[in-house]
Chain A
Amino acid sequence: MSAPSQTYDVAVIGGGLVGASIAYGLAKGGTRVAVLDEGDIALRASRGNFALVWVQSKGMGMPEYAGWTVRGAGLWPQLAAMLKADTGLDLCLEQPGGFHLALSEAELEKRKGLLQRLHNQPRMHSYDYEIMDHSRVKAMLPEIGPQVVGASYCPLDGHVNSLRLFRALHTAMERAGVRYLPNHPAEQVAYEAGAFRVATPRGEVRAGKVVLAAGNGNARLGPMVGLDVPVRPQRGQVVVTERTQPFLRYPVVTVRQTDEGTVMLGDSVEEAGPDPTVGLPIVSSIADRAVRMFPRLGGLNVVRTWAALRVMTKDGFPIYDQSVSCPGAFVATCHSGVTLAATHAFVVAPAIAAGRLPAEEFEVFSARRFHVPAAA
């Protein structure tokens, strides 16, 4: 496939969930979009995710992020309906509420304290959550083991078939006229005379605006258009079992049963640098906790494990930013590409189409927050 010669309104760099959600939103609004992506093998956070649409406990230290996440979860049914109408694909979105299970009194106390502090923050967008003891949890999740002492439950949580989301976004992008360009890794981005030129091994792509949605690749691309994007890879590993009959009606933050019947067990948080290989002590620990939560999991066969690299900032919150020196250059990066997919399509994309991220909504997510001197 050779690079097309025409110019686009927007070039989105990155064809993962963040890039595809924004490109879909842009194209639905009538913008002419090209999505530049790497080839078959790349570090792809959005193919390795855990597929939760998750609210509880997010936003400690940045209450606006809690609000942003609640909004994202609220917009999700609309995204699922729209993608279904566009592609016929059912994303199996379920938002029955979700659990965080504690395997000791200490873990439960810690959990309780965290959620209290979270909701006591000034400007916090408060929402319902509940701390439950073993018997309360057992009533809703009958298969829990005796080591589960309790849980936090939040009715806003849910999950989705994230591979189908990925497929639906790509199918819908194509139908909405997005030009998807695989094997086009962005090597250079240049700003000249009010437009952008993206150099790839297969030729140059020109666009009036550019959106950096390249995950950890944004750290390298950002400075080319006057954006600082301090992100680092953080490894997460996931274990998947064979299919089994439905036994889990609610997603648990580290155990969820997919619509296909497999059970996903996850997911670790490791500062391992850019190494995406699977480590046995970690997957063993994942398996151990999962079996203590749901003893029946012990008898299931593992069919896959994988490691993927999250796109992580110093404070764990996303970066949405626009360039001052190269107007028309934007960056969107986060480690919750599933939870925030609807927000990216319905809130971020229209703002980019309009040419400006409104300060009242996005200022707090600017990377300038990392530039404040420590003593100030």
Chain B
Amino acid sequence: MTAQFPTSDTVSYDTKSDTKARDLPKAVDLAVVGAGPAGLAAATLAASAGLSVLLLDENAGPGGQVYRAITTSPLGEGRVLGPDYWSGAALAREMLASGATYVPGATVWSLSRELELGVSVGGQAHLVQARRVILATGALERPMPIPGWTLPGVMTAGGAQTLLKSSGLVPEGRIVLAGCGPLLWLLAAQYLEAGVRLEAILDTTARENWRAALPEAFGFLTSPYFRKGLALLRKVRAAVRIISGVTTLAAEGDESVTAVRYATAGGESGRIELDTLLLHQGVVPNVNLANAAGIPLVWDAEQLCFRPDVDAAGTSPVAGLAVAGDGAGIGGALGAAERGRLAALAAIAALKPGAPVLAQRPQVEAALHKALRGRAFLDRLYRPADGFRRPAPDTIACRCEEVTARQVTETVALGCAGPNQLKSFLRTGMGPCQGRMCGLTISELMAEAQGVTPAEIGYYRLRAPVKPISVAELASLPKDESAMKSVERG
């Protein structure tokens, strides 16, 4: 990796002056987890209504993934990242002025049904009791388990974009993008804007997806994404070799990736030498904290992912706990902010009934409706193909424990009922990724092997800690006499 851009002065945000860990409040009206668009909007609105709000985020600055490094990016307010990116700066500014207590560098590793949060800041663990909690933990990239996807030099487009946003870094050498979805094209456009050459884009969007998406096209044509999307596609298509209708992909190399092989639905096949292969096939909700806190997961057959069981305002079956933004189902950054506001309004209605701000609800709902226009079109158009979600037998499905798809289907043949039993057999989902890079693959493989839907198979049951915490931090938490007694053995 090399830095391609000189550092420039941007909206400055001094992380050293932040709330120190020792200043974390013991109790708050509302805790918001995640400072992406949903969390920023939720915290801002709730604080402006007079609630005591604690906004916890693991990054060094506000913005989440989509507006990562919005206050510190070395790229300046220029063209590379585009105006949509810089619109996140307003959300961040409003939050910083709202009176919410914002704690960056805070890792929330546990949340109980009684709404007690386990938080680590600077290596020190704390417990915070909240009356209401909004989880705005955003999205993760969907795994794309092709042969060779674990080779060094193969990474996700989202990971590459993170480096671009936060550090202005791009991979060295020849770059190929492969997969589907808006983020793939956005990254391509950002690279082009930055003067980075791309060898090719291997587009895995299935031809039949266009037919399936067509009935939803009107919504998309009237959506805020349409014009921008079209302009972006045109720009990339004009500058990069695009290979469409790709149905198989394999990364090759011994020590690290050296080439990608592909074949298309049209019968074309080829091999491209490269130094970096960037994979992407859409994003899915990051459900770990929500599920560990007791919110059941439901299968979303349109978006082909599990999401927490919440309503439009993010209200979950766990009293006082809501999920907003892409963590509750993928809706994009603009929709996420409105969903954050809706969840905040629900919290305000519960804690400050009669607050004047509650009158804003219809406007927020209308804005959300507008922001979600075209989503169904995007979902159908960029629906990842079966062969890229359920890998071939010899391909690794679980990276942490190096388990192949074949091992999974063989274990199903032994009578293994679902992903939670599979852990006992193969340790899948028990590694450091805690299922984030294998969960969907495993559920889909098991469902296919048993001839049922992923809804029937279910997902990993997730538990705290959903983020790493050291044994020493855990040991430093308050404990009572009876707890100490229960672990002494006679």
A269 to B485, CA, bound (A): 9
Chain A residues touching B, majority SS: mixed
Within 8 Å of chain B (Cβ to Cβ): is A176?
no
**Bound Cα distance A305, B466 (Å):** 10
Among the 9-residue stretches B154-162, B226-234, B326-334, B472-480, the one with 4 or more Cβ atoms under 8 Å from chain A is B472-480
Known: A40-B419, A170-B425. A282 touches B475 (CB 8 A): no
Would A298 and B475 be within 8 Å (CB), given that A40-B417, A242-B432 are in contact? yes
Interface residues of A in 92-123 (CB under 8 A from B): 100, 107, 110-111, 114
Residue of A57, A282, A302 near B483 (CB, 8 A) is: A282
Inter-chain contacts of A297 with B (CB < 8 A): 471
CB < 8 Å neighbour of B487 from A1, A114, A289, A298: A289
Residue of B nearest to A265 (CB): B471
Interface residues of B in 431-490 (CB under 8 A from A): 431-432, 434, 457-458, 461, 463-465, 468-472, 474-480, 483-484, 486-490
Total of A-B residue pairs, C-beta within 8 Å: 147
Sort chain A's interface into a size bin.
35 or more
Cα-based distance from A301 to B416 in the complex (angstroms): 30
- Known contacts A280-B112, A303-B432, A305-B465; is-contact A288 B475 (Cβ 8 Å): yes
Taken residue by residue from 235 to 274, chain A's Cβ proximity to chain B (1 for < 8 Å, 0 otherwise) reads as 0000101100000000001100000000001011110000
Does the CB pair B487–A302 fall under 8 Å? no
Q: How far is the CA of A181 from the CA of B416 in the complex (A)?
A: 9
Contacts of B319 in A (CB 8 A): none
Q: Is the CB of A110 within 8 A of B461?
A: no
For A41, A180, A283, A290, which residue has the most chain B Cβ atoms within 10 angstroms? A283
* Interface residue range, chain B: 35 or more
The contact of A239 among B116, B426, B471, B486, by CB within 8 Å, is B471
A369 in contact (CB, < 8 A): no
The answer to whether B417 and A302 have CB atoms under 8 Å apart is no
In the bound complex, residues from chain B placing their C-beta under 8 Å from that of A39 are 417-418
Distance (whole angstroms) from the CB of A306 to the closest CB of chain B: 6
| Interface check B421, CB cutoff 8 A | yes
Contact A284 B471 (CB under 8 A): no
User: Contact at A284–B486, with CB atoms within 8 Å?
Assistant: no
Q: A285 in the interface, Cβ–Cβ < 8 Å?
A: yes
Closest B residue, CB atoms, query A182: B417
C-alpha spacing A269/B484, complex, angstroms = 10
Partner of B479, one of A281, A291, A302: A281
Q: Check if B421 sits within 8 Å of A281, measured CB to CB.
A: no
B430 close to A (CB within 8 Å): yes
Q: How far is the CA of A280 from the CA of B486 in the complex (A)?
A: 13
Task: List residues of chain A with CB within 8 A of the CB of B472.
Answer: 287, 291, 298-299
A353 at the interface (CB under 8 A from B): no
Most buried by B among A171, A181, A279, A285: A285
CA distance A181 to B484 in the complex (A): 41
Q: Which of B384-430 contact A (CB under 8 A)?
A: 414-421, 423-427, 430
B488 cross-chain contacts in A, Cβ below 8 A: 107, 289
Contact status A167-B424, CB under 8 Å: yes
Q: A40-B457, A47-B424, A305-B465 are in contact. Are A284 and B479 (CB under 8 A)?
A: yes
Given A284-B477, A301-B468, A302-B470, A254 and B487 touching (CB < 8 A)? yes
Question: A278 within 8 Å of B by Cβ?
Answer: yes
A278 near B464 with CB under 8 A, answer: yes
- In the complex, what residues of B have CB within 8 A of residue A182's CB? 415-417, 421
Contacts of A253 in B (CB 8 A): 489
CB-based contact B474/A281 at 8 Å? no
Chain A residue at smallest Cβ distance from B125 = A284
What A residues does B425 contact at CB under 8 A?
163, 166-167, 170
Q: Which residues of B contact A290 (CB under 8 A)?
A: 471, 475
Q: Which among B118, B420, B458 has the greatest number of chain A C-beta atoms within 10 A? A: B420
Say how far B358's CB is from chain A's closest CB, in angstroms.
Answer: 34
Contacts of B477 in A (CB 8 A): 280-281, 284
Q: Could you say which residues of chain A place their CB within 8 Å of the CB of B432?
A: 242, 303
How near does chain A come to B229, taking the closest CB pair, in angstroms?
Answer: 40
- Complex Cα gap A284–B287 (Å): 25
Chain A residues whose C-beta falls within 8 Å of the C-beta of B426 in the assembled complex: 167
Residue in B110, B418, B464 whose beta carbon sits within 8 Å of that of A41 in the complex: B418
For residues 289 through 343 of chain B, which have their beta carbon under 8 Å from a beta carbon of chain A?
A: none
A302 contact set on B, CB distance < 8 A: 465, 468-471, 474
Q: Is B200 an interface residue (CB 8 A)?
A: no
Looking at B414, B415, B434, which has the most chain A CB atoms within 10 Å of its CB? B415
> B residues near A, CB below 8 A?
110, 112-113, 116, 118, 127, 414-421, 423-427, 430-432, 434, 457-458, 461, 463-465, 468-472, 474-480, 483-484, 486-490
Q: List 30 A-B contacts (CB under 8 A).
A: A37-B417, A39-B417, A40-B417, A167-B424, A170-B425, A181-B415, A242-B432, A242-B468, A254-B487, A269-B486, A269-B487, A279-B483, A280-B112, A280-B118, A284-B475, A284-B476, A284-B479, A285-B479, A285-B487, A287-B474, A288-B479, A290-B471, A298-B471, A301-B469, A302-B468, A302-B470, A303-B430, A303-B468, A305-B463, A306-B463
- Extra 9 A-B pairs, beta carbons < 8 Å, given A267-B487, A282-B479, A304-B430: A37-B415, A39-B417, A183-B417, A239-B471, A268-B483, A268-B487, A284-B478, A298-B475, A302-B471
Give the top 8 A-B pairs by smallest Cβ distance, nearest first: A40-B418, A298-B472, A281-B483, A301-B468, A287-B475, A284-B477, A287-B474, A182-B417
